[in-house]
Amino acid sequence: MTVTVTRTTVPEHGVVRYASIGGLELEAGGYLPDVTLAYETWGTLNADGTNAILIEHALTGSTHVTRGDSDEEGWWEQLAGPGAPVDTDRYFVVSINIVGGCYGSTGPSSPAPDGTPWGSRFPLVTLRDSTVAEARLADQLGIGSWYAVLGGSMGGARALEWAVTYPERVQRCAVIAVGAASTAEQIAFAQAQTLAIRQDPNFNGGDYYGGPGPEEGLALARRIAHITYRSAAELEGRFGRAPQDPESPLRAECLGERGRYQVESYLDHQGNKLVQRFDANSYIAITEALMSHDVCRGRGTLPEALARSKARFFVAAVDSDRLYFPSQSRELARALPGSVDVHLIEAPIGHDGFLTEIGQLGDQLRTKFLV
């Protein structure tokens, strides 16, 4: 593959920038003209372009991995920043908002060629499509090969797709809290979430822009998702059967007047928080992209697919994860060439431990991966 390299000066760190990458032919047959990718960078690309690291965000994550010149805290401060395992004083760190998102990249709320939002017309974009788009941005930034690509959950799936789609462009790949493909159970959870949005009376087939949006449906989708992000032990330990004071679910003359348990109030809070920052159509688009995750598609067996990659792999799982089970990480590791360990994050919280407890892997990342 011939890579066209265009150098770009990046004066600000941790501040959103935008790049036009042209039209994108999609795996499922659709087409997106004039795609924009939003991204942030930290650190400085060295003269030969060999110190670049790509950090991929999870489902509803943004590009803001760490502070940089921004006052806003990043979502993976334990992992990236000055002196952190992904040291922004040493590496040129990049994070890109996925196609279909709502943090600056082309998505359903973006203007279509006719000037109105894409809405229901937005095409299916797979994780493989998003990788192709990101490769064009890497070209513009002057990055012919990534020193490392890493991510957790959907970000880990994106990192894995990079390593297999562009084997000559990924030297190291860290896949955290995700397997080689979305399983039937994971697709089932995802379908329940997207259906919650689609059945909201305000969804209007996806063309709700300019009117009331499907906020109740999006909040319900987040509730469903959040249950899978936290472990049963975490929910029981934090909330048990306690009522939400002064409410009581057992003191009401009719069901319509019942109060809530604390865990219900917690899920309500999580749903309402997402509504304030995320677009419902983007939630559907990215969830569909995650459903598409299958590194083997069109590539043979899992060992055959992974044999395409030339990267050094780092695989990790959360021991209490009930969405992406550690067994899926072990299956991925067994199929990789050579001997690849599965590092365990010990966190009773569940799947979200890949975010909150990533610091546990700091030494392993420094000594076994980023070397």
Active-site positions read 153, 321, 351
- What does the alpha-carbon distance between residue 78 and residue 353 come to, in Å, rounded to a whole number? 12
Name, in order, each residue with C-beta under 8 angstroms of 73's C-beta and a sequence gap of 6 or more: 67
User: In this structure, which amino acid lies at residue 38?
Assistant: A
Name, in order, each residue with C-beta under 8 angstroms of 100's C-beta and a sequence gap of 6 or more: 106, 107, 108, 122, 125, 130, 282, 285, 286, 289
- What does the alpha-carbon distance between residue 369 and residue 321 come to, in Å, rounded to a whole number? 23
- What does the alpha-carbon distance between residue 160 and residue 173 come to, in Å, rounded to a whole number? 7
Q: What does the DSSP assignment read for 1-12?
A: ------------
Cβ atoms within 10 Å of 9's Cβ, excluding its own: 5
Burial of 29 (C-beta count, 10 Å sphere; 0-12/13-18/19+): exposed
